[in-house]
Structure 1
């Protein structure tokens, strides 16, 4: 965590010029105010107890203040990044000193290959495509008879759409290691592996994740590396760019891209999900997309405040609410519809449900807050914060059989 973030300084005077990107809070917000903030194209970092934390350019700050919002300035983002980086390591693709417990792309690849070597009877490693810079988008499938496409409910876990959210990759790794290492020993794990097909994509955004740690220093980077970068979780095809929940400006951290699925990473994941329609039936019945931070369980829709639409009946909305509440009760997160946070469009959950009827959730992981430090929890938090979701993963895998 960054020192001083728990007690930020007061708001700058409105007439004080701003010439740098800063970190800000707006406190005691309602959903309309949060949507106004997000719609300005700022980089939203988290929301907790009505306080919204975000990075903003000077022109965005002036726009929001002109709209009557009381912005509290936490600090200069570049200076905070410099303070958070204790030193530069020799290798270009290593995490900063003290965070070696996190996995680089190379280390992740080695772990996945070793997992399949150790558990080839239940685990298979493939690639669903290439990132913009040519890295494989790894997919590991775990099942009791993994070489046969059996008629079993399938569940998908995706991580690291946003580059700096490295804890989520560790979350996907825990799922992989738990459902392979504990197979044949833990009765619950064994039954779920034998009766499900579990698909895990540990990093949807490997290029951005590697760029975020380039030179052993954190950059606070969110997007992929295509041009100025695309926010992958605004690039999905359903209600893309419809409702003020993303930006059309390439410089924005919520840039949705020039068209739906313009990012090769989202296109590859979507193509894989499309490929699981067998004889007219989608085999994937449930999904979690892991993000950080704020400790939330979110479900569709993000593009509208309405609980029900032509793609969401009252009964379906009730199921999302019930399952979401059970998931949150297991890990201590807060459950809510995505749009209760603020409006987003072109998101993975909305597309998964609207296009395929997949029971799709987003988990915003640890911590509840913390500014820049919230994206970079120390390595000793990996085990407790990923283990914290063991029961939730089991709940979703079980619920997949009822979908």
Structure 2
């Protein structure tokens, strides 16, 4: 059965993992572990006092239903993976070449004929050029059948978009990209045709059990302890008789020894995570900042959670691929290996196959780009404008590459903005530092008429590496328009709640935005008679005005609207709300508004402070100011701190 362990106390969980359970997934967000539990696993959970809930009682029944429904027809078994690679090599011989890098265990015994196949994609695929290399590796664990789909899709995407998509073309021209759809071909077919839940390879262990967990069979810290792997051949995390005992892991070792991969992405399922070393201990590597930067950058595209054992993102493992990719630096170069845990199950619903593939497309492209260690360039938004006379300021954030091999020292003398009004003739201007960290700027002269302005930015390192925005520039460029502004400003406002009769002044705060800028803004308000207007004045990134009633009368209702006019030639006007009006009532009692008035009075101690706290939620619905002990630190020990309200009149209560 499949169970979820719901209260994983760390010490008890360590003892449970030492027993070698078949862990299906771990969610660090909820601190829950999903396990395919045998009777002895359930007993172990009870003995350790670990709570669990049953998710699937009868796994065999679920498997029968999947097979009769044709579920596996939506995925690639070994034969179909092989056909995809042969198709790629046949149809794109100048870009794709297939390599047989090793055998599945059953082939070494004459029981089957399954090879471990890799495909290399590059513009001069027959040559070993001095280009950065990256490997996308799938299917260590047989049942994780979504992972070959991601690899196969990546092959199609790169080849079919070469010469059409400038970014893909740039990557294929400047990188050597290796992809292995399945490194466990025997196990993959065993899942398709025998046991949906199979994890290991198909080695006959000679004692009635089969299989070695390939992701516990790498040499670095192999067998470090029995928590992160198991010496028991019947365990699903059995590490084998020795490091690299399996032909499948030997094939990966040989490939890494003969190439200079800088990044390897090893695809697994599931949990929506980016994992990196160390796995064998709860410690960070000396290059943890590099792993964090890579994982955070990829997570930007799909929202996966980055981390390692030390951060609490995953449980202990030893003999895994990532630790060896990075940790072994004597016989091969240092490789930044990351595990990508895809999706939320081993066998996603068929409607989720393509979404799970696509959510990993851009992270894959990013990793392929990142191995080039080029300066990182991104342009801050350049809005359209009505100003034909210019100039037009372009700002770019320029940072060193994430260091994988050699540190990237920037050369600010060679930061350039390139621009064109027709897309054919280009001019360049050097960019200069601004007051903002890592931000550089330059201006494009006025266009003189309506139309597009094309531009791109290049930034060089002192050793001659060039980064650009857009990344494949000048094959792809950015642009903005000199055009008429026919769009009114946007108005964002949280309506005022009911207010106290004891105030008389009611602050209205709004956020206003328009590409052409805000020319003027105001609030119109009324009771039952004439309409009054007060201006909205910019304060930081908001506009503020005050409705004043002289005198305020309890029971009355105040209606108001917000207006904003942009600075374009058309003077576009926006009003909020579009229909009707905002309103609030005047109440016959005090309302404590801690945002504009401290109101309360400390009467003893020194800890009470009124203001904006330095921790807590980044956005507060009711305002930023609070009374706290303290705003930016810990309160005093054994303190007697008292805070009083103003007098409260209860005579009418």
- CA distance, structure 1, for counterparts of residue 134 and residue 281 of structure 2: 26
Q: Is 1:362 paired with 2:339?
A: yes
Structure 1 or 2, whichever has the larger Rg, is 2
- Normalized per residue, the structure richer in helix is 1
Three-state SS of the structure 1 residue aligned to 2:127 is coil
Displacement after TM superposition at 1:72 (Å): 2.4
Higher alpha-carbon deviation: 60-69 or 288-297? 60-69
Q: Hey, what does 2:246 align to over in structure 1? A: 263
Residues 243-290 of structure 1 deviation map (CA, whole Å, 9 limit, x = unaligned): 3200100000000001011111011111111112xxxxxx21011000
Change (3 A) 1:127 1:342: same
In the alignment, is the contact (CA less than 8 A) between 2:23 and 2:35 conserved in 1? yes
Change (3 A) 1:83 1:255: same
* Count, aligned residues: 354
Q: How does 1:279-318 map to 2 (within 5 A)?
A: 283-307=260-284, 312-313=285-286, 316-318=287-289
Structure 1 unmatched ranges of 5 or more: 1-21, 90-95, 277-282, 368-373
Three-state SS of the structure 2 residue aligned to 1:245 is coil
In the alignment, is the contact (CA less than 8 A) between 2:274 and 2:339 conserved in 1? yes
In the alignment, is the contact (CA less than 8 A) between 2:134 and 2:178 conserved in 1? yes
Q: Hey, what does 1:42 align to over in structure 2? A: 21
Displacement after TM superposition at 1:191 (Å): 0.4
Relative contact order, higher structure (CA 8 A, sep 6+): 1
Q: Hey, what does 1:66 align to over in structure 2? A: 47
Three-state SS of the structure 1 residue aligned to 2:88 is helix
Q: Hey, what does 1:401 align to over in structure 2? A: 372
In the alignment, is the contact (CA less than 8 A) between 1:102 and 1:379 conserved in 2? no
Q: Hey, what does 1:168 align to over in structure 2? A: 147
Three-state SS of the structure 2 residue aligned to 1:375 is coil
Change (3 A) 1:24 1:87: closer
Q: Is 1:320 paired with 2:301?
A: no
- CA distance, structure 1, for counterparts of residue 301 and residue 125 of structure 2: 29
In the alignment, is the contact (CA less than 8 A) between 2:244 and 2:250 conserved in 1? yes
Displacement after TM superposition at 1:30 (Å): 5.5
Three-state SS of the structure 1 residue aligned to 2:124 is coil
Higher alpha-carbon deviation: 326-335 or 80-89? 80-89
Three-state SS of the structure 1 residue aligned to 2:65 is coil
Change (3 A) 1:386 1:128: same
Equivalent residue in structure 2 for 1:115, among 80, 84, 88: 88
In the alignment, is the contact (CA less than 8 A) between 2:133 and 2:177 conserved in 1? yes
Q: Hey, what does 1:371 align to over in structure 2? A: none
- Could you tell me the TM-score, scaled by structure 1's length? 0.84
Three-state SS of the structure 2 residue aligned to 1:320 is helix
Change (3 A) 1:61 1:382: same
Displacement after TM superposition at 1:349 (Å): 0.3
Q: Is 1:385 paired with 2:368?
A: no
Change (3 A) 1:105 1:28: same
Q: Is 1:375 paired with 2:358?
A: no
- CA distance, structure 1, for counterparts of residue 366 and residue 234 of structure 2: 39
Three-state SS of the structure 2 residue aligned to 1:139 is strand
Q: How does 1:241-280 map to 2 (within 5 A)?
A: 241-243=223-225, 244-276=227-259
Equivalent residue in structure 1 for 2:170, among 168, 183, 191: 191
Displacement after TM superposition at 1:100 (Å): 1.4
Q: How does 1:342-361 map to 2 (within 5 A)?
A: 342-355=315-328, 356-361=333-338
In the alignment, is the contact (CA less than 8 A) between 2:63 and 2:196 conserved in 1? no
Q: Hey, what does 2:391 align to over in structure 1? A: none
Residues 21-80 of structure 1 deviation map (CA, whole Å, 9 limit, x = unaligned): x3221114355554443322001111122111101222232223222222323344xx22
- CA distance, structure 2, for counterparts of residue 181 and residue 30 of structure 1: 49
Displacement after TM superposition at 1:378 (Å): 2.8
Three-state SS of the structure 1 residue aligned to 2:23 is strand
Structure 2 unmatched ranges of 5 or more: 108-113, 205-209, 374-403, 405-653
Three-state SS of the structure 1 residue aligned to 2:245 is coil
- CA distance, structure 2, for counterparts of residue 32 and residue 358 of structure 1: 32
Change (3 A) 1:401 1:64: same
Higher alpha-carbon deviation: 294-303 or 390-399? 390-399
- Normalized per residue, the structure richer in strand is 2
Q: Is 1:231 paired with 2:202?
A: no
- Could you tell me the TM-score, scaled by structure 2's length? 0.53
Three-state SS of the structure 1 residue aligned to 2:105 is coil
Equivalent residue in structure 1 for 2:3, among 11, 19, 24: 24
Q: Hey, what does 2:104 align to over in structure 1? A: 131
Q: Hey, what does 1:92 align to over in structure 2? A: none
- CA distance, structure 1, for counterparts of residue 263 and residue 188 of structure 2: 26
- CA distance, structure 2, for counterparts of residue 71 and residue 80 of structure 1: 17
Residues 154-207 of structure 1 deviation map (CA, whole Å, 9 limit, x = unaligned): 001110110011100001111111111111111111101111000111101010
- CA distance, structure 1, for counterparts of residue 173 and residue 15 of structure 2: 47
